[in-house]
Amino acid sequence: MKRIYINIVFIFALSLCVNVNAQDFKDLDTSPHDIVYFRTNKISPPTIKVLYGRPKKNGREIFGEVIPYGKIWRVGANEATEVVFYQDVVFGGTQVKAGTYVLYAIPHKNEWTLILSSQIDVWETSEYEKKYDVARITAKVSKAEFLEAFSIGFKDKGKHVNMVLAWDTTRITTPIKIIL
């Protein structure tokens, strides 16, 4: 009898733990964060790391509506996108020291302004201040296959690498040269 009582108490306690844990996760982020690395080869340490939120299109008109043209965007969702350069680089023509930066963009229909800011650990664009800009470059817009979730990737070009921002059918490509 005592053993049955202990089992009932244990099952009841376990069910409370499951309910508490389920409640802890009811408000999970709908735009989870992702990390992408660029390495010069599969066994080398990373050269570039990008941490970013991955919002989804969900049937919405993204550029020009959800993300207005001509206004600063944090590039992704939630916390601002962070780019870590493990060594000095030339980012779209501007020399940038190794370090961690926030990536912002000002989208337009045919080209975007990409901004690297030294002000890190920020949320959205309300904290953006131009005085922290390290690089401001212009990148052309191209079209490609549809992507539901915002994504960032790298295309290796030998001594150069292209960072590609992709969402819906929009692509923005930025050349990065690793300074050795």
Q: Where are the domains of the chain?
A: 29-178
What pLDDT score was predicted for residue 40?
83
- Expressed in angstroms, the distance from the first to the final Cα of the chain is 74
Beta-strand ranges (E) seen in the chain are: 33-38, 48-53, 81-85, 89-91, 94-96, 99-107, 111-117, 133-157, 160-178
Per-residue pLDDT of the chain in tens (180 residues, 90 and over written 9): 566 656 555 555 545 555 555 556 666 667 778 899 998 888 889 999 999 999 999 999 999 999 999 999 999 988 899 999 999 999 999 999 999 999 999 999 999 999 999 999 988 788 899 999 999 999 999 999 999 999 999 998 767 899 999 999 999 999 999 987
CB 167 within 8 A of CB 151: yes
Q: Does an H or E element contain 2, and which? A: helix 2-24
Question: What's the Cα-to-Cα distance from 170 to each of 17, 20, 74, 152, rounded to whole Å?
Answer: 45, 42, 16, 12
Whole-number Å distance between alpha carbons of 57 and 120: 26
Phi–psi pair at 118, nearest 5 degrees: -85, -5
What pLDDT score was predicted for residue 15?
54
Whole-number Å distance between alpha carbons of 51 and 53: 7
What pLDDT score was predicted for residue 14?
47
Q: What pairs with residue 56 in β-bridges?
A: 149
Could you give the 3-state DSSP secondary structure of residue 92? coil
What pLDDT score was predicted for residue 111?
97
What pLDDT score was predicted for residue 88?
96
